Chain A
Amino acid sequence: MRFLLVEDNVELGNAITERLGLEGHIVDWATTLGEANTFITSTQYQVALIDMTLPDGDGKTLLQTLRRSGEPAQSETPIIILTARSTVSDRVDSLDSGADDYLVKPFEFEELLARCRAVIRRKQGRVQNAAQFGDLSFDAQTASLWIGDVPISLRNRERRLMEAFFDAPGRTLSKQHLHDRLFSFDDDASDNAIEVYVARLRKKLGQSDVTIETQRGVGYRLVTR
């Protein structure tokens, strides 16, 4: 995904850019309104993350510039406001100005990604660049799964599991690998947690011609029936 990040705090901007980069995203980072305006006229973004307090003005003006743009690709850009002011009026204010969501600093990186996925999903509906496997289409950006034309709702960990399988369709993935993909270091997961999630995912794939196959003593893989 291509992100526009507008954040005047250099350390925070650096950290977000680097962290998103680790996930394979491209980030154009502007520290001022002026810079951000140059960026939005030259490129299209999947998501814009905008800080409210900027040295040369209010993040809201950028929001309005984007929303009033004649180019649908720009005016439809999902926008998430990053704010250090947490009062209700600040939040309502940013939503009224046309933001799709807001995130109060400090935030968890996971939550930032989850919110990005949610706003993209809300904005674009059916996605064009979904990966196909059997009759399944999976869009990693928005964590949307379809069996044929039927959308399937996935919870956070089911989505991560699906992501892992779609990264290597047909290949056997070890339990350890899946465990690392599903749980972070501070999650207190039991040994049979992977079995539990695999069972859930299998249930959701019920009508599909794709299923998850157990390779006894080795791991699991996604196969077509």
Chain B
Amino acid sequence: MLSIRRRLLIQLAWVAFVLAAVMYILGGNIARNTLTASHDQLLLSSARIISERVYSSEAGTVVDIPPSALSMLAEISDNRLLYRITVNQTVVVGVADLPANTATTLESGRGHVETARYKAAPIRLATLQKTVALEDGYAIVEINLGQPLSAQAEIIDAAARRTALLSVGIFILAALLGALAINQALQPLRRISEAVSRRGPRDLRQITHPVPKELEPIIGAINHFLERLSDSLRKTETFISEAAHHIRTPLATMRMQVDLAMTKPMESETQQELLKIKKSIDHSSRVTGQMLDHAMVSYRSERAKRKPIDLSTIIGRLYQSFATTAELRDIDFHLHCQPSLSLRGDPVLIETALRNLVDNALKYTATEGEVEVSAVQDGEEIVVAVSNIGINPVQPLQTLTERFTRGSNSDGVVGSGLGLTIVSEVAQSHGGSLRQFNQGEMIVYELRFAMH
């Protein structure tokens, strides 16, 4: 669909064109009419001057044409001037075959001008009849004065050329002014679209830019839509959290009941079955937890709430909460954390990433293995590394960070395959990086963040 701007421009150009064309036609007409009228007046006044110079003499009726009478007509064009003077229908002087006047009646002293043809060329022909007192009584003197129209045409052409130039000029000016006006009028629209396009996909704040009255209903509708959208997003979040709650509680019950059942004497087959159930429950609960984490990471990383984070405290707290888990499996769990490390970011995301990293390391370390967490400052960067002696060789990181991909070392270990995806997404949203490498027999996962 055409943009509003283009539509308006095309429409305005049409209007300007029509106006320029009308001006051209009207201008031409006015020029022609004015010229014709003044030419006619000239012809008639010359005829009138001539009519006053008709008198009787010894030689009969004499017409004494004063040069001044014709000089004005010569100004219009050097073209020849045609005249005929008749007295009582007898040609006294001039071009005898000049066409006759077509007007039926002519009042004495009042002239008439018309277009006639003489030798196939159009001429403007003025006719004036006058009753003159001659010696032998009153006579009707008729003066015909003609000048070819080609003389007029030249002047009209010149005038038309000027009008055309003027029309084109006015068209261009109107189009330019129109474009400027459209730009000006569309300014608020552009401001809104710029402001909206600068937003992240999760930014659902209302549009509060001042807008012209005409746009208010649209903006109102958009704001209403945004409100509904963010409301439904909020509901989704609550839903995820509620769903987690409602899935985890029965899982916890099952888990506890299986634990309980396993304390009772039973056949070894039954015990095997119970073990399988226990593993499935653990799997479901990890998947639930990581899906919740992942949903939260996707949600929050777009919102970019950055504030200073006390990383050392977060890591200390994290270490504390995992210490019991490590102790249960007799894993040597160490922490080397430089005090008062800080960076800018979303503390919830950073903690989620680190928790998943440590959880992964503990999960893929054999009983009595070793896991080490370290955090140090390296130039302008903070490096957090979690290393463990893995059960099996490392996998390419890229495969591991894809959703629901689990490493091949996951045999017999409960996992969802979302853990490293979460970590790498958090790293990306903070402009950091996740790297994996071997150091001796340790597998190291290293997160780097810029400090500022």
Contact = CB atoms under 8 A, between A and B. Distances in A.
A12 B257 CA distance: 8
Contacts of A106: 248, 251-256, 281-282, 285
Interface string B288-305: 010011001000000000
Contact of B256 (A15, A91, A92): A15
Interface string A74-108: 00000000101111110110010000011011111
Interface of A: 9, 11-12, 15-16, 18-19, 22, 53, 82, 84-89, 91-92, 95, 101-102, 104-111, 114-115, 118, 155-157, 184-187
B22 interface: no
Given A101-B321, A109-B259, A84 B252 contact: yes
Contacts of B327: 114, 118, 155-156
Nearest to A185: B271
Given A19-B263, A118-B324, A105 B241 contact: no
B245 A110 contact: no
A9 B257 CA distance: 13
Contacts of A16: 256
Interface size class of B (residues with CB under 8 A): 35 or more
Contact of A104 (B248, B256, B328, B329): B248
21 contacts: A11-B250, A15-B253, A15-B256, A22-B263, A84-B244, A84-B252, A86-B244, A86-B292, A87-B352, A88-B348, A88-B351, A92-B351, A104-B289, A105-B251, A105-B285, A106-B251, A106-B254, A108-B255, A108-B259, A114-B324, A184-B262
A155 B370 CA distance: 13
A12 B246 CA distance: 13
Interface of B: 241, 244-246, 248-257, 259-260, 262-263, 271, 275, 278, 281-282, 285, 289, 292-293, 296, 317, 321, 323-325, 327-330, 347-348, 351-352, 355, 367
Nearest to A122: B320
A9 B241 contact: no
A155 B248 CA distance: 30
B264 to A, nearest CB: 9
B330 A155 contact: yes
Given A88-B351, A89-B348, A106-B285, A185 B253 contact: no
A150 B329 CA distance: 25
A5 B281 CA distance: 23
B253 A12 contact: yes
Which of B248, B282, B329, B355 neighbours the largest number of chain A CB atoms within 10 Å of its CB? B248
Contacts of B252: 9, 12, 82, 84, 105-107
Nearest to A22: B263
A179 to B, nearest CB: 15
A88 B309 CA distance: 14
Which of B293, B327, B348 neighbours the largest number of chain A CB atoms within 10 Å of its CB? B327
Q: Which 5 A-B pairs have the closest CB atoms?
A: A105-B252, A106-B252, A15-B256, A84-B248, A106-B255
A183 to B, nearest CB: 10
Contacts of A18: 260
B285 to A, nearest CB: 5
A88 B275 contact: no
B296 A111 contact: no
A120 to B, nearest CB: 12
A102 B278 CA distance: 21
A12 B281 CA distance: 14
Contact of A111 (B246, B250, B292, B325): B325
Contacts of A110: 328
A184 B328 CA distance: 12
Contacts of B251: 105-106
A107 B262 contact: no
Contacts of A101: 321, 324
Contacts of A111: 324-325, 328
A95 B251 CA distance: 24
Given A18-B260, A108-B259, A109-B259, A85 B253 contact: no
B299 to A, nearest CB: 11
Which of B246, B250, B292 neighbours the largest number of chain A CB atoms within 10 Å of its CB? B250
Given A11-B257, A19-B260, A84-B244, 11 more contacts: A15-B260, A19-B256, A84-B248, A86-B293, A87-B296, A91-B321, A104-B248, A105-B252, A106-B248, A106-B281, A107-B255
